[in-house]
Chain A
Amino acid sequence: AIQLTQSPSSLSASVGDRVTITCRASQGISSALAWYQQKPGKAPKLLIYDASSLESGVPSRFSGSGSGTDFTLTISSLQPEDFATYYCQQFNSYPLRITFGPGTKVDIK
Protein backbone atom coordinates (compact mmCIF):
# COMPACT_ATOMS: atom_id res chain seq x y z
CA ALA A 1 0.00 0.00 0.00
CA ILE A 2 1.16 3.52 -0.80
CA GLN A 3 2.15 5.49 2.29
CA LEU A 4 2.17 9.26 2.56
CA THR A 5 4.42 11.26 4.84
CA GLN A 6 4.07 14.97 5.55
CA SER A 7 6.62 17.42 6.82
CA PRO A 8 6.68 19.19 9.05
CA SER A 9 4.12 17.61 11.39
CA SER A 10 3.48 21.05 12.82
CA LEU A 11 4.68 24.59 12.33
CA SER A 12 4.21 27.99 13.87
CA ALA A 13 3.91 30.96 11.56
CA SER A 14 2.79 34.56 11.51
CA VAL A 15 0.16 36.29 9.43
CA GLY A 16 1.73 37.22 6.10
CA ASP A 17 4.30 34.41 6.16
CA ARG A 18 4.88 32.13 3.21
CA VAL A 19 4.21 28.56 4.31
CA THR A 20 5.26 25.36 2.54
CA ILE A 21 4.11 21.86 3.45
CA THR A 22 5.61 18.78 1.83
CA CYS A 23 3.97 15.43 1.13
CA ARG A 24 5.98 12.43 -0.01
CA ALA A 25 4.54 9.20 -1.43
CA SER A 26 6.23 5.83 -0.93
CA GLN A 27 5.92 5.18 -4.66
CA GLY A 28 5.04 7.22 -7.71
CA ILE A 29 1.44 8.38 -7.96
CA SER A 30 1.69 10.65 -10.99
CA SER A 31 -0.43 13.69 -10.08
CA ALA A 32 -3.18 11.84 -8.16
CA LEU A 33 -2.85 13.97 -5.04
CA ALA A 34 -5.21 16.31 -3.23
CA TRP A 35 -4.84 18.72 -0.31
CA TYR A 36 -7.43 19.46 2.37
CA GLN A 37 -7.75 21.98 5.18
CA GLN A 38 -9.48 20.99 8.40
CA LYS A 39 -10.42 23.21 11.33
CA PRO A 40 -11.30 21.77 14.76
CA GLY A 41 -14.74 20.20 14.88
CA LYS A 42 -15.30 20.73 11.16
CA ALA A 43 -15.23 18.57 8.07
CA PRO A 44 -12.21 18.81 5.79
CA LYS A 45 -12.30 21.24 2.88
CA LEU A 46 -10.81 20.46 -0.53
CA LEU A 47 -8.14 22.96 -1.57
CA ILE A 48 -6.18 21.34 -4.40
CA TYR A 49 -6.77 18.28 -6.60
CA ASP A 50 -4.68 16.65 -9.33
CA ALA A 51 -1.66 17.99 -7.44
CA SER A 52 -1.99 21.55 -8.74
CA SER A 53 -5.62 22.33 -9.66
CA LEU A 54 -7.21 24.90 -7.39
CA GLU A 55 -10.70 23.96 -6.24
CA SER A 56 -13.39 26.47 -7.12
CA GLY A 57 -13.78 29.17 -4.46
CA VAL A 58 -10.43 28.55 -2.82
CA PRO A 59 -8.25 31.68 -2.52
CA SER A 60 -5.39 31.96 -4.97
CA ARG A 61 -2.84 32.23 -2.15
CA PHE A 62 -3.08 28.43 -2.01
CA SER A 63 -1.12 26.51 -4.63
CA GLY A 64 0.04 22.96 -5.16
CA SER A 65 2.88 21.47 -7.13
CA GLY A 66 4.71 18.23 -7.73
CA SER A 67 4.31 14.87 -9.40
CA GLY A 68 5.55 11.35 -8.88
CA THR A 69 6.53 11.11 -5.22
CA ASP A 70 7.13 14.67 -4.03
CA PHE A 71 4.42 17.28 -3.62
CA THR A 72 4.10 20.71 -2.05
CA LEU A 73 1.28 22.86 -0.73
CA THR A 74 2.19 26.55 -0.52
CA ILE A 75 0.29 29.35 1.17
CA SER A 76 1.80 32.53 -0.25
CA SER A 77 0.68 34.89 2.50
CA LEU A 78 -0.80 33.26 5.58
CA GLN A 79 -4.13 34.72 6.73
CA PRO A 80 -5.77 34.39 10.18
CA GLU A 81 -8.35 31.97 8.78
CA ASP A 82 -5.62 29.64 7.49
CA PHE A 83 -4.61 28.33 10.89
CA ALA A 84 -5.72 24.72 10.63
CA THR A 85 -4.50 21.19 9.95
CA TYR A 86 -3.62 20.30 6.37
CA TYR A 87 -3.81 16.78 4.91
CA CYS A 88 -2.55 15.39 1.63
CA GLN A 89 -4.41 12.45 0.09
CA GLN A 90 -3.47 10.09 -2.71
CA PHE A 91 -5.66 8.09 -5.04
CA ASN A 92 -4.81 4.85 -6.82
CA SER A 93 -7.55 3.72 -9.17
CA TYR A 94 -6.83 0.01 -9.57
CA PRO A 95 -7.12 -1.50 -7.16
CA LEU A 96 -8.85 1.43 -5.53
CA ARG A 97 -6.78 2.65 -2.63
CA ILE A 98 -7.11 6.06 -1.06
CA THR A 99 -4.83 7.15 1.75
CA PHE A 100 -4.28 10.36 3.67
CA GLY A 101 -1.11 11.78 5.06
CA PRO A 102 -0.80 12.21 8.84
CA GLY A 103 -1.46 15.95 8.70
CA THR A 104 0.40 19.19 9.32
CA LYS A 105 -0.89 21.54 11.99
CA VAL A 106 -0.32 25.23 11.29
CA ASP A 107 -0.68 27.44 14.31
CA ILE A 108 0.02 31.01 15.31
CA LYS A 109 3.53 32.00 16.26
Chain B
Amino acid sequence: QVQLVESGGGVVQPGGSLRLSCAASGFTFSSYGMHWVRQAPGKGLEWVAFIRYDGSNKYYADSVKGRFTISRDNSKNTLYLQMNSLRAEDTAVYYCAKDLGELLGAFDIWGQGTMVTVSS
Protein backbone atom coordinates (compact mmCIF):
# COMPACT_ATOMS: atom_id res chain seq x y z
CA GLN B 1 0.00 0.00 0.00
CA VAL B 2 0.96 3.65 -0.27
CA GLN B 3 3.32 4.36 2.58
CA LEU B 4 5.95 6.75 3.89
CA VAL B 5 8.24 5.64 6.71
CA GLU B 6 10.56 8.12 8.43
CA SER B 7 13.68 7.25 10.37
CA GLY B 8 16.73 8.94 11.81
CA GLY B 9 15.27 10.94 14.66
CA GLY B 10 16.85 11.07 18.09
CA VAL B 11 18.43 13.28 20.70
CA VAL B 12 21.14 15.70 19.62
CA GLN B 13 22.96 18.54 21.35
CA PRO B 14 22.47 22.16 20.29
CA GLY B 15 24.69 22.91 17.32
CA GLY B 16 24.69 19.27 16.26
CA SER B 17 23.51 17.56 13.09
CA LEU B 18 21.06 14.85 12.16
CA ARG B 19 19.86 13.31 8.90
CA LEU B 20 16.30 12.13 8.53
CA SER B 21 15.19 9.63 5.90
CA CYS B 22 11.77 8.87 4.48
CA ALA B 23 11.26 5.63 2.54
CA ALA B 24 8.38 5.69 0.08
CA SER B 25 6.45 2.73 -1.31
CA GLY B 26 3.23 2.00 -3.17
CA PHE B 27 3.38 4.95 -5.57
CA THR B 28 5.67 6.34 -8.27
CA PHE B 29 7.93 8.36 -5.98
CA SER B 30 9.79 10.04 -8.84
CA SER B 31 6.57 11.69 -10.11
CA TYR B 32 5.69 13.71 -7.02
CA GLY B 33 6.96 16.66 -5.08
CA MET B 34 7.77 15.89 -1.47
CA HIS B 35 7.70 17.94 1.73
CA TRP B 36 8.89 17.90 5.31
CA VAL B 37 6.50 19.24 7.95
CA ARG B 38 7.21 19.42 11.68
CA GLN B 39 5.21 19.72 14.86
CA ALA B 40 6.72 20.86 18.15
CA PRO B 41 5.35 19.10 21.25
CA GLY B 42 1.82 20.30 21.94
CA LYS B 43 1.98 22.82 19.08
CA GLY B 44 0.65 23.21 15.57
CA LEU B 45 2.05 22.20 12.21
CA GLU B 46 4.92 24.00 10.46
CA TRP B 47 5.98 23.41 6.88
CA VAL B 48 9.76 22.97 6.65
CA ALA B 49 10.86 22.23 3.09
CA PHE B 50 9.83 21.07 -0.40
CA ILE B 51 11.64 19.37 -3.24
CA ARG B 52 10.37 18.98 -6.77
CA TYR B 53 9.83 15.51 -8.24
CA ASP B 54 13.19 15.54 -9.99
CA GLY B 55 15.11 17.41 -7.31
CA SER B 56 15.55 20.45 -9.56
CA ASN B 57 14.08 22.97 -7.12
CA LYS B 58 14.08 23.17 -3.36
CA TYR B 59 12.31 25.60 -1.05
CA TYR B 60 12.65 26.18 2.68
CA ALA B 61 10.85 27.90 5.51
CA ASP B 62 12.72 30.97 6.72
CA SER B 63 13.20 29.31 10.12
CA VAL B 64 15.44 26.59 8.65
CA LYS B 65 16.95 28.24 5.56
CA GLY B 66 20.73 27.87 5.49
CA ARG B 67 20.70 25.14 8.15
CA PHE B 68 18.55 22.36 6.64
CA THR B 69 18.91 20.69 3.24
CA ILE B 70 16.24 18.59 1.55
CA SER B 71 17.25 16.00 -1.03
CA ARG B 72 15.97 12.86 -2.66
CA ASP B 73 17.22 9.70 -4.33
CA ASN B 74 14.60 8.55 -6.81
CA SER B 75 16.51 5.33 -7.48
CA LYS B 76 16.03 4.43 -3.81
CA ASN B 77 12.55 5.96 -3.39
CA THR B 78 13.91 7.92 -0.46
CA LEU B 79 13.61 11.50 0.75
CA TYR B 80 16.13 13.09 3.11
CA LEU B 81 16.44 16.05 5.42
CA GLN B 82 19.94 17.03 6.53
CA MET B 83 19.68 19.19 9.64
CA ASN B 84 22.72 21.18 10.79
CA SER B 85 23.27 23.79 13.50
CA LEU B 86 20.31 22.43 15.40
CA ARG B 87 18.60 24.59 17.99
CA ALA B 88 16.27 23.82 20.87
CA GLU B 89 13.40 25.27 18.84
CA ASP B 90 13.92 22.57 16.21
CA THR B 91 12.64 19.99 18.69
CA ALA B 92 9.60 18.43 17.02
CA VAL B 93 8.08 15.43 15.34
CA TYR B 94 9.18 15.56 11.71
CA TYR B 95 6.81 14.21 9.07
CA CYS B 96 7.53 13.60 5.43
CA ALA B 97 4.53 14.18 3.21
CA LYS B 98 3.69 13.57 -0.43
CA ASP B 99 2.36 16.43 -2.52
CA LEU B 100 -0.91 15.81 -4.34
CA GLY B 101 0.97 16.38 -7.58
CA GLU B 102 4.11 18.01 -8.83
CA LEU B 103 3.41 21.04 -6.62
CA LEU B 104 -0.23 21.41 -5.71
CA GLY B 105 0.50 22.49 -2.17
CA ALA B 106 -1.57 19.89 -0.33
CA PHE B 107 -0.28 16.75 1.34
CA ASP B 108 -2.21 13.56 0.72
CA ILE B 109 0.12 10.96 2.23
CA TRP B 110 2.02 11.41 5.49
CA GLY B 111 4.54 9.28 7.33
CA GLN B 112 4.14 8.35 10.97
CA GLY B 113 6.70 10.93 12.04
CA THR B 114 10.11 10.77 13.71
CA MET B 115 10.95 12.68 16.88
CA VAL B 116 13.92 15.03 17.00
CA THR B 117 14.96 16.38 20.40
CA VAL B 118 17.61 19.07 20.62
CA SER B 119 18.87 19.25 24.17
CA SER B 120 22.10 19.36 26.13
A residues engaging B (CB < 8 A)?
A: 32, 34, 36, 38, 43-46, 49-50, 55, 87, 89-93, 95-96, 98-103
A61 to B50 Cα, complex, angstroms = 31
A101 to B47 Cα, complex, angstroms = 11
A49 to B107 Cα, complex, angstroms = 9
A91 to B44 Cα, complex, angstroms = 17
- Which residue of the partner chain B has the closest CB to A44? B110
* A49 and B100 contacting across the interface, CB-CB below 8 Å: yes
- Which residue of the partner chain A has the closest CB to B105? A91
- Which residue of the partner chain B has the closest CB to A102? B44
A91-B106, A93-B105, A98-B35 provided; 12 other pairs, C-beta below 8 A? A34-B106, A38-B45, A43-B95, A44-B107, A46-B100, A49-B100, A49-B104, A49-B106, A93-B103, A98-B50, A100-B47, A103-B44
Let me know if B31 is at the binding interface, CB within 8 A: no
- Which residue of the partner chain B has the closest CB to A38? B45
B residues engaging A (CB < 8 A)?
A: 35, 44-47, 50, 59, 95, 100, 103-108, 110-113
- By a CB distance below 8 angstroms, the chain A residues around B113 are 43
A87 to B45 Cα, complex, angstroms = 8
- By a CB distance below 8 angstroms, the chain A residues around B106 are 34, 46, 49-50, 89, 91
- By a CB distance below 8 angstroms, the chain A residues around B95 are 43-44
